[in-house]
Structures are given as C-alpha cells and as structure tokens.
Amino acid sequence: MDEKGDGISMLAAIKENRCKRLRNWLWKLLAERFSIEQQWVQDHIANCPKCRGRIARLGRVDAALALLKAEPHSIDLLMRANTQAIGVLKHSLRETAKACKLRRARPESTILERYGKYKRPLFHAAACVAVAVLLKISTFSSAGKFRAGSQKAVEHYYASRAGEDIAGEVFRSHA
C-alpha cells in the first residue's frame, strides 16, 4: 500500500513539475510577444484611448504605491487595507478564520524601528566610552614614557655625581 501511495504521489509531482515548466514557458512566450517594447503594442496604445487610459491609471497606481512605501503610516494601515480587500470577497470567504486573522493583522516592526529612538543616546554613550578608553591608553602610555625618562634622568644624575660603576650597579640590578 505504501509503495503504491508513494508511486502515485511521485507521479503527481512529476505532472506538477511538467505543468509548472509549461506555464513558465507560456508566460515567457507571451511576455516576449506582447511586451510593451514591441512596436505594434506601442502603436496600438498611441491610437487607442481606452488602452492609453488604462496605462495612465496603471502609472498612477505605481506612483501611489511608491508614495505608500516612502511615507510612514500608522500601525493599523495593514489592518485597514486587509479589511477593505476582504470586503470585496464572496460572503462565504469573508467569514473564514483566515479572513478574521487578516482583519486583525498588524505589521511586525523591525528592530531598527523599535529601538530607533535610542540610536542617538547610544551613539553618544559609545563616543564617551571611546574617549574614556583613549584617555586611559594615552595616560598609561604617557606614564610609561615619563617613568622611563625620569629613570634615565636619575641614572644620569647618579652617574655624574657618584660615578658610572655605582649608577650601573644600582640601576642595572633592578632592571
């Protein structure tokens, strides 16, 4: 029974794949034949007022969609858009569980949208930390240079006052 069931599902998958390839081929063929770049299509649009109007409306829809993407909207925009879209469906489809879920859907905000208001304070804090670290590094670096320089000055003082052999013995034994 299992082998037969697997054979049927495999046959269905092969048929589906063949169907998908055929649809893709047809779509590509239609796109090449009826492309807006085709001269006969452009001539028709230039001479047909109905098609010119449809193309103009399509352009306005594209412009409106671009504006929607560019401007921030309230959080319930998705919910309102879904409610309007569901309103044009058949009554039996409007009352399904998926339709109810779509009516209540809200977009998920990205992490940048959620924490964007903290961006400036975080940058200020990071800058302060960077300055503090650089100050610490320069202080320790300067202290090391100061210590080495002062040790050489004291060694030179002892060498000039007490002699090279005593200064060398005092300072070289601790190094």
Question: What confidence tens digit (pLDDT) does each residue in 96-140 have?
Answer: 888 878 777 776 777 777 787 888 888 888 888 988 888 888 777
107-120 residues labelled b (16+ CB within 10 A) or e (exposed): eeeeeeeeeeeeee
For 53-81, write each residue's pLDDT tens digit.
887 887 777 777 776 666 666 667 777 77
- Give the up-direction half-sphere exposure of residue 147: CA atoms within 13 A in the CB hemisphere: 7
C-alpha distances (whole Å) from 14 to each of 7, 18, 21, 144 are 11, 6, 11, 76
pLDDT in tens, 15-55: 778 888 888 888 888 777 777 777 887 888 888 888 888 87
